């Protein structure tokens, strides 16, 4: 019941925050958001699952009750976590709390609504990562979009409406395509399933129950469904060339919203890819290994090169997210312990590090009111602590050893290199790894021009060190990044435990 | 007994008159009247088939429809009054503010 | 295995602790945290010495101490310590140089009133700790991780004066260029894991041993891309070599190192002598058992080394700043070490690594002392005549210069001579590539002698050429102390391995370093490597004759260079004789335009590509997305025109629609048939 309690408490917190007066909303939301943090940490501490939730593993904190009847299908309220979702639940609660703190300074109007929406989004995100029934999962999946739409559309920058609508429509169309793909699988399974529970569907697919549907043979149906779902999730990840909503959304969104967007929302896409495409249709995924690996490499290199061309600090980080998420795709297609496990680890690692980078850019923006590289230099002179954390975070993003990003990237590279899905995987891995050089290039260039050199600022604002509550979340994230980098086993053991059954499906060992 | 074809012809004639009025008139009151004609054409059918099958359900239904038509007229007249107040006319083609 | 070696982790942890202390509490401490650093490195030094003697006594240590990532159904990634003669020797070098640099920094940084000292000492502590972690690493992954941390520290320290324009730029360049090399290294690490399932340097599944057994056909390993084992090992070796070339500043990735002179001089000493640059060469020595298996890689290492030695030495000839000369001499000297390793002279290269650490640290600290005296003017043409004003610095610097130039009996002579000797005999044994590399190395000896003494004469001899040189700033004990220690070491460390004396006069048992490096794990000792080397030896007039000829030739070249410098520059009013070189000087002064083309690749190729891609992304990729939305909006705008607001039109549409529906149904349903 703890998952229900977690989601319910977060919903309640959102409701309470909605009706509070604006001046107390931020502090109250922070205090209320500590409850899910404690809850998720308690879950992590009590975690006792083994295996993959979809493939007959032992699911932690499982609830499974029949809820509605829809034709031949029962809809179940089924939630639970395994080694893949547990780290993401922890990431979501912690990152939301930190994002709420980082919103104290920049959000100066309609605070109660802002913080209420943040908590509402957190509740839905927790639902996405814990739901194990497709119907329930899909409701949460779509419900995440709404708070995000308002958060960008109301508190965003000058082009907020464009960005919010683009984000909403783009991801919504993608969801529709994904939905069609998934439902066609459900119909193809025919009478072999009696509910939308994901474990049941995954196991029926493994048992070879997929029949023909709408004139397509089972194999063709699997391919069509795979492509449709891949498209749907790839927009969310985002995989180049479906990424263009991301920089716009990031640039217009206020800092805390960017943190949530890059830190957690993008992981919905990769999480769903792993849960649906790569777990349910492994043979099809292997058959599509070449185009998927190509997309992964393209995302990494293309995203990184685009980041190099940007002048806006936030756009730099936004495009580098495209690059980093490309590694996740590369790891997923590898079908090795270190590849898929590393990809899952990268979801958490990138969540922390991109959150850190967006927050750091936000703290500088709070003071300077500009994010343009050309508008400033030598900021480190006036904001030494922020600059120090920025440098540390940037090196984390570049994959500095003993920080979470390196662990994730190394696992992925190692897993992808020794992958057996394709003869040429070492070449793809080598090509994708060149991203670590470009990422160093643009971050070092950006830091040299904004943080270092003689102090210069084209603006009327007084540049001083940021207040404690702006810097504290940065420090917490940095600490978490280092802890995970020094001891990746905190999550990596449970991740591998949940990932290995997926690999056995295709005999990857 | 009059064969049902005659009733049906009458009803179709009344309905067509109603449609014709609806498509050609611009006065809202005439609109209302045309709609009433079409409604009554339907009523004639109900009553005629009721008689033909010897079943009073159709006639009962017609009574309801008449009551409904009265209510509809009340609402319709109200709308026409508002229309007149806003546009100083009861010409329906003038009231085009609810377009794209 | 018990005993002093169990304390080996503390050697790494002590400087790390000083990093934390300096970072956290440095500003509240006297000397800005320097004392914590000095204490920690002194402790590490004492432990290293103890370790060194324990290893001399035949002890070794190879233990996994931390499992970084535990693989379920996959291999574990671990951290461990490997203490053998090579690493224990390096531990002593690194801790000693780090200790002296810390002490010297009291004079160079604290006494000069620098700000940000806690940051400086934190950086030094982390730098030392990272390098020590790299030295003791027992597997390639751990080595890579600390290798990268070394890179981070160099970034932080080179860019220490971040309020100016130059240092941040130099720091960025240093990190980026070495990162480019590390990219290949990382692929190499991944490839080693994928090939052997282990990246340990020693022990039962040491990858060099596995590779050797695989080549002997004892068992098979995974190879990729359809390559045979020999070809694949060559590829892996070259990939790892990428990191070495970057960090050890070998051609063509040497360009970051001269720029790195923007960092404070003690940091330069640390980078050049004991930490960052040494890391690359040390890595080759560490996994030498793997490199000796692939003759192609060895030949490439030798060629890169020989070429870099000569190439860098020629550029050192024309530089104006004292630190620039030293920077190019560093590149050149590491070229010798690479040459030695590539030519099969494992002991010789290690020997040169050791002697170079001492004399290069000495020269940099000496230069630092001169720079303090000159009020931070580094231009040698403004110096002159400092010999009488700062005798301690002068004699220490002279000792280091004699070692660098390779004049008997100073340290550099013995080690450089052995490198060249190994190259020569293996070249004579039938390897024209090595002979070519030998020729380049030998020519570089001449240039080394010349630029070294040009620097000495310009700085210390002749008449003072500026006001500051006439009345230099004095230096204190904390500068002179380290100089004295290193001055003695630079003069004497060559005596630990007097191979020429042994060979010429038949005195057995004075090649202590050879004996020391033989006493390791059976797969890691010099003896084992010597058996595997794919070269045969050839001699001119017997072994002793070759030794004598080689030593005489290289000494002759060095003395020739020094003599030329003496003639040209040891005069009261020297002039820039290098001007006579004309356009050659311009080329040399601009470093053969190596920087230009690399900057051009970054700003003239990659940046325009990224801008074009940005246009492409905004125009085409996003254009398609926005285009779809525009088409929808346009179509909607047209279709909505039906909504005229005229009720009659709606009624007409309704009627038409109904009619159409009826007709359609009728046609489909066959009513009119």
pLDDT in tens, C531-584: 888 888 888 777 788 888 888 888 888 888 888 888 888 777 777 776 777 777
C592 within a domain of the structure (yes/no): yes
**Do β-strands A60-70 and A73-81 pair in parallel, antiparallel, or remain unpaired?**
antiparallel
Domain around C591: 583-642
C555 within a domain of the structure (yes/no): yes
pLDDT in tens, C378-405: 788 888 777 788 888 888 888 889 888 8
Of C576, C591, C614, the residue at which a domain comes to its end is: C576
| B94: nearest CA partner in chain C | C646
Q: Above 80 in pLDDT, residue A459?
A: no
Q: Above 70 in pLDDT, residue A372?
A: yes
With a cut of 0.85, is the ipTM above it?
yes
Our CA-based measurement puts residue A392 at a distance from the nearest CA of chain C, in whole angstroms, of 10
- Domains of chain B by start residue, with CATH: 4-87 (1.10.287.3510)
pLDDT in tens, C598-636: 888 888 888 888 899 989 988 888 899 889 989 999 999
Q: How many domains would you assign to chain C?
A: 3
Give the sign of the dihedral formed by CA A215, CA A219, CA A222, CA A224: negative
B48, B61 contact by CB (below 8 A): no
C443 and C400 in a single domain? The answer is yes
pLDDT in tens, A293-335: 999 999 999 999 999 989 899 999 999 999 999 999 999 999 8
CA distances from A338 to A300, A407, B43, C349, C430 (A): 19, 10, 77, 38, 46
Please tell me the distance from the alpha carbon of residue B45 to that of residue B5, in angstroms, as a whole number: 10
Residue contact C643–B26, C-beta within 8 A? no
Our CA-based measurement puts residue C634 at a distance from the nearest CA of chain B, in whole angstroms, of 14
Spacing of C-alpha C30 from chain mean position:
33
DSSP category for residue C71: P
Chain C contact set for A306 (CB, 8 A): 610, 613-614, 617
Burial class (CB in 10 A: 0-12, 13-18, 19+), A21: exposed
A10, A122 contact by CB (below 8 A): yes
CB count within 10 Å of CB C342 equals 27
A324 sits in which H/E element: helix A313-334
User: Which of C27, C68, C157, C161 is the best substitution to test chain A (most A C-beta atoms within 10 A)?
Assistant: C68
Whether cis (ω within 30° of 0) applies to the bond prior to A238 is yes
Q: Above 50 in pLDDT, residue C1?
A: no
pLDDT in tens, A335-369: 898 999 999 999 999 999 999 999 999 999 988 88
Please tell me the distance from the alpha carbon of residue C560 to that of residue C447, in angstroms, as a whole number: 9
Q: Which of residues 323-352 of C touch B (CB under 8 A)?
A: none
Structure tokens at C162: 């971040």
C75 within a domain of the structure (yes/no): no
Q: Above 50 in pLDDT, residue A163?
A: yes
Q: Which of residues 76-95 of B touch C (CB under 8 A)?
A: 92-93, 95
Mean pLDDT value across chain A:
91
Burial class (CB in 10 A: 0-12, 13-18, 19+), A129: buried
Beta-carbon contacts of A453 under 8 Å, excluding residues fewer than 6 positions away, are: A377, A378, C162, C163, C164, C165, C168
Residue bearing tokens 């295996």: A51
Confidence of residue A166 (pLDDT cuts 50, 70, 90): very high
Confidence of residue A123 (pLDDT cuts 50, 70, 90): very high
**pLDDT (average), residues C249-253:** 86
DSSP category for residue C7: G
C357 and C379 in a single domain? The answer is yes
Please tell me the distance from the alpha carbon of residue C449 to that of residue C402, in angstroms, as a whole number: 8
Nearest to A329 by CA among A358, A312, A350, A308: A350
| Cα three-residue angle A275-A501-C75, rounded to 5 degrees | 115
**pLDDT (average), residues B27-45:** 92
Nearest to A244 by CA among A319, A317, A314: A319
pLDDT at residue A506, rounded to an integer: 57
Of C533, C556, C576, the residue at which a domain comes to its end is: C576
**Do β-strands C77-83 and A376-377 pair in parallel, antiparallel, or remain unpaired?**
unpaired
Structure tokens at C22: 């300096």
Q: Helix, strand, or coil here: C384? A: coil
Q: Above 70 in pLDDT, residue A507?
A: no
Please tell me the distance from the alpha carbon of residue C60 to that of residue C63, in angstroms, as a whole number: 10
Residue contact A492–C180, C-beta within 8 A? no
Structure tokens at C539: 């001699």
Q: Name chain A's partners: 3 or more CB pairs within 8 A.
A: C
pLDDT above 90: percentage of residues in chain C: 18
pLDDT in tens, C56-107: 888 888 888 888 888 887 888 889 888 888 888 999 999 999 999 998 888 8
C450 and C536 in a single domain? The answer is yes
C61 sits in which H/E element: strand C61-69
C393 and C467 in a single domain? The answer is yes
Residue bearing tokens 């080397």: C533
Please tell me the distance from the alpha carbon of residue A152 to that of residue A158, in angstroms, as a whole number: 11
| B96: nearest CA partner in chain C | C645
Structure tokens at A504: 């056995």
Please tell me the distance from the alpha carbon of residue A82 to that of residue A88, in angstroms, as a whole number: 10
A73 sits in which H/E element: strand A73-81
Residue contact C651–B97, C-beta within 8 A? no
C431: left (phi over 0), alpha (psi -120 to 50) or beta: beta
C180, C246 contact by CB (below 8 A): yes
C615 and C494 in a single domain? The answer is no
The residues spanned by each domain of chain A are 2-506
Whether cis (ω within 30° of 0) applies to the bond prior to B78 is no
For chain B, what percentages of helix, strand and coil (3-state, to nearest 5) are there? 80, 0, 20
**pLDDT (average), residues A105-130:** 93
Length of chain C: 673
pLDDT above 70: percentage of residues in chain B: 99
C441 and C383 in a single domain? The answer is yes
Nearest to C519 by CA among C57, C136, C139, C3: C57
DSSP category for residue C618: I
| CB-based touch A/B (3+ pairs, under 8 A) | no
Cα-Cα-Cα-Cα dihedral of A219, A222, A226, A229, to 10°? Answer: 160
Residue bearing tokens 């919103």: A103
Please tell me the distance from the alpha carbon of residue C84 to that of residue C59, in angstroms, as a whole number: 8
Residue bearing tokens 């590289």: A373
Residue contact C643–B19, C-beta within 8 A? no
Beta-carbon contacts of B57 under 8 Å, excluding residues fewer than 6 positions away, are: B50
C587 and C659 in a single domain? The answer is no
C605 and C635 in a single domain? The answer is yes
Q: Name chain B's partners: 3 or more CB pairs within 8 A.
A: C
The helix-helix angle for C207-215 and C229-247 (nearest 10°) equals 150
Task: Please list, residue by residue across C420-457, b when 16 or more beta carbons sit within 10 angstroms of its beta carbon and e when fewer do.
Answer: bbbbbbbbbeebebbbbbbebbbbbbbbbbbbbbbbbb
C451 and C587 in a single domain? The answer is no
Of C576, C591, C623, the residue at which a domain comes to its end is: C576
**pLDDT (average), residues C27-35:** 80
Chain B contact set for C656 (CB, 8 A): none
DSSP category for residue C498: -
C635 and C550 in a single domain? The answer is no
A214, A250 contact by CB (below 8 A): no
pLDDT at residue C2, rounded to an integer: 53
Please tell me the distance from the alpha carbon of residue A309 to that of residue A325, in angstroms, as a whole number: 19
């Amino acid at each position: 019941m703890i998952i229900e309690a977690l989601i319910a408490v977060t919903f309640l917190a959102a409701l309470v925050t909605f009706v509070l007066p604006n001046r107390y909303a931020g502090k109250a939301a922070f205090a209320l958001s500590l409850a899910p943090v404690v809850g998720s940490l308690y879950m992590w501490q009590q975690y006792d699952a083994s295996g993959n939730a979809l493939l007959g593993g032992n699911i932690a904190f499982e609830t499974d009750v029949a809820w509605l009847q829809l034709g031949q299908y029962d809809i179940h309220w089924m939630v639970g976590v395994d080694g893949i979702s547990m780290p993401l639940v922890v990431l979501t609660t912690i990152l939301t709390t930190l994002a709420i703190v980082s919103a104290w300074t920049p959000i100066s109007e309609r605070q109660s609504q802002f913080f209420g929406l943040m908590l509402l989004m957190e509740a839905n995100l927790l639902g996405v990562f814990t739901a194990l029934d497709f119907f329930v999962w899909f409701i949460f999946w779509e419900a995440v979009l709404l708070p995000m739409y308002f958060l960008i559309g109301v508190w965003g920058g000058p082009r907020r409406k464009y960005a919010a609508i683009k984000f909403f429509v783009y991801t919504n169309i993608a969801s529709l395509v994904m939905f069609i793909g998934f439902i066609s699988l459900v119909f193809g399974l025919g009478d072999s399933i009696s509910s939308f529970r994901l474990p049941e569907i995954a196991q029926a697919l493994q048992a070879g129950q997929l029949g023909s549907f709408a004139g397509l043979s089972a194999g063709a149906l699997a391919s069509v469904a795979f492509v449709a779902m891949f498209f749907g999730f790839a927009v969310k990840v985002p995989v180049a060339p479906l990424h263009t909503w991301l920089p716009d959304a990031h640039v217009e969104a206020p800092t805390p919203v960017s943190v949530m967007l890059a830190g957690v929302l993008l992981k919905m896409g990769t999480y769903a890819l792993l849960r649906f495409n790569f777990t349910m249709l492994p043979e099809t995924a292997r058959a599509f290994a070449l185009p998927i690996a190509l997309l992964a490499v393209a995302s990494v290199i293309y995203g990184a090169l685009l980041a190099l061309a940007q002048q806006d600090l936030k756009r730099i980080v936004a495009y580098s997210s495209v690059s980093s998420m490309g590694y996740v795709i590369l790891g997923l297609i590898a079908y090795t312990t270190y590849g898929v496990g590393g990809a899952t680890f990268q979801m958490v690692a990138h969540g922390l590090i991109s959150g850190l980078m967006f927050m750091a850019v936000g703290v500088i923006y709070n003071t300077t009111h500009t994010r343009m590289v050309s508008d400033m230099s030598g900021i480190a002179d006036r904001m030494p602590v922020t600059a120090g954390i920025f440098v540390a975070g940037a090196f984390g993003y570049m994959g500095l050893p003993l920080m979470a990003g390196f662990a994730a990237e190394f696992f992925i590279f190692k897993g992808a290199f020794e992958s057996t899905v394709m003869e040429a995987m070492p070449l793809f891995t080598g090509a994708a790894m060149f991203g670590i050089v470009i990422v160093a290039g643009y971050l070092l260039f950006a830091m040299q021009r904004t943080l270092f050199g003689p102090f210069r600022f084209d603006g009327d604002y007084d540049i001083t060190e940021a207040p404690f509550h702006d810097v504290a979340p940065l420090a917490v994230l940095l600490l978490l990044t280092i802890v995970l980098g020094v001891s990746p086993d905190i999550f990596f053991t449970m991740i591998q435990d949940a990932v290995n059954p997926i690999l056995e499906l295709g005999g990857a060992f | 007994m009059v064969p049902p074809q005659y009733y049906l012809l009458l009803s179709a004639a009344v309905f067509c008159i109603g449609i014709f009025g609806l498509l050609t008139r611009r006065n809202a009151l005439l609109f209302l009247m045309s709609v009433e004609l079409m409604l009554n054409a339907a009523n004639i059918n109900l009553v005629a088939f009721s008689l033909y099958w010897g079943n009073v359900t159709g006639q009962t239904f017609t009574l309801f429809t008449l009551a409904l038509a009265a209510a509809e007229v009340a609402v319709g007249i109200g709308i026409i009054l508002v229309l007149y107040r806003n546009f100083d006319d009861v010409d329906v083609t003038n009231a085009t503010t609810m377009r794209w | 295995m018990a005993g002093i070696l169990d304390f080996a982790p503390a050697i790494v942890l002590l400087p790390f602790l000083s990093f934390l202390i300096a970072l956290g509490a440095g500003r509240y401490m006297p000397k800005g945290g320097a004392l914590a650093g000095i204490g920690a490195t002194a402790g590490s030094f004492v432990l290293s010495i103890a370790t060194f003697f324990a290893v001399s006594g035949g002890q070794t240590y190879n233990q996994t101490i931390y499992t970084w990532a535990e693989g379920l159904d996959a291999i574990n990634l671990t951290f461990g310590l490997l203490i053998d003669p090579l690493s224990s020797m390096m531990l002593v070098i690194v801790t000693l140089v780090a200790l002296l640099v810390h002490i010297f920094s009291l004079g160079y940084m604290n006494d000069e009133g620098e700000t940000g000292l806690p940051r400086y000492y934190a950086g030094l502590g982390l730098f030392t700790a990272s390098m020590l972690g790299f030295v003791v690493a027992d597997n390639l992954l751990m080595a890579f991780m600390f290798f990268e941390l070394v890179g981070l520290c160099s970034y932080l320290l080179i860019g220490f004066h971040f309020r100016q324009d130059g240092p941040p730029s130099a720091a960025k360049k240093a990190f980026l260029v070495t990162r480019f090399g590390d990219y290949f290294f990382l692929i190499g690490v991944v490839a080693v894991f994928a090939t052997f399932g282990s990246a340990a340097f020693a022990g039962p599944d040491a990858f060099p041993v596995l590779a050797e057994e695989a080549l002997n056909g004892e068992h098979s390993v995974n190879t990729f891309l359809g390559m045979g084992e020999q070809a694949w090992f060559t590829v892996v070796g070259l990939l790892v070599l990428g990191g070495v070339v970057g960090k050890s500043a070998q051609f063509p990735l040497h360009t970051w190192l001269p720029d790195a002179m923007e960092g404070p001089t003690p940091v330069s000493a640390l980078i050049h002598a004991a930490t960052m640059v040494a890391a690359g060469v040390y890595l080759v020595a560490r996994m030498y058992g793997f490199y000796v298996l692939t003759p192609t890689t060895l030949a490439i290492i030798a060629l890169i080394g020989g070429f870099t030695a000569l190439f860098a030495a020629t550029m050192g000839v024309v530089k104006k700043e004292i630190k620039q000369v030293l920077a190019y001499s560093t590149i050149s000297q590491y070229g010798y070490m690479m040459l030695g390793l590539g030519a099969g002279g494992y002991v010789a290269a290690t020997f040169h690594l050791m002697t170079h650490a001492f004399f290069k640290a000495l020269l940099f600290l000496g230069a630092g002392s001169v720079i303090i005296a000159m009020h931070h003017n580094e231009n040698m043409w403004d110096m002159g005549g400092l010999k009488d004003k700062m005798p301690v610095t002068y004699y220490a610097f002279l000792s280091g210069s004699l070692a660098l130039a390779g004049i008997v009996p100073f340290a550099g002579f013995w080690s450089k001579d052995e490198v060249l000797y190994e190259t020569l005999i293996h070249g004579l044994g039938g390897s024209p590539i090595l002979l070519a590399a030998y020729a380049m190395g030998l020519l570089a000896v001449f240039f080394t002698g010349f630029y070294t003494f040009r620097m000495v004469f310009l700085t210390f001899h002749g008449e003072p050429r500026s006001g500051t040189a006439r009345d230099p700033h004095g230096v204190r004990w904390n500068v002179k102390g380290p100089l004295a220690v290193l001055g003695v070491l630079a003069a004497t460390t060559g005596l630990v391995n007097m191979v020429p004396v042994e060979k010429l006069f038949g005195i057995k048992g004075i090649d202590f370093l050879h004996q020391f490096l033989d006493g390791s794990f059976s797969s890691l000792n010099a003896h084992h490597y010597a058996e595997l080397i794919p070269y045969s030896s050839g001699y001119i007039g017997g072994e002793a004759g070759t030794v004598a000829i080689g030593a005489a030739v290289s000494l002759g070249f060095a003395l020739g260079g020094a003599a030329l410098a003496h003639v040209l520059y040891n005069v009261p009013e020297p002039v820039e004789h290098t001007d006579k070189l004309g356009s050659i000087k311009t080329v040399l002064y601009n470093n053969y335009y190596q920087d230009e083309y690399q900057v051009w690749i970054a700003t003239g190729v990659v940046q325009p590509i990224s801008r074009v891609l940005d246009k492409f992304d905004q125009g085409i990729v996003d254009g398609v997305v926005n285009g779809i939305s525009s088409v929808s909006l346009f179509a909607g705008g047209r279709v909505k025109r039906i909504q005229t607001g005229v009720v009659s039109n709606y009624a007409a549409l309704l009627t038409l629609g109904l009619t159409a529906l009826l007709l359609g149904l009728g046609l489909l349903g066959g009513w009119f048939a």
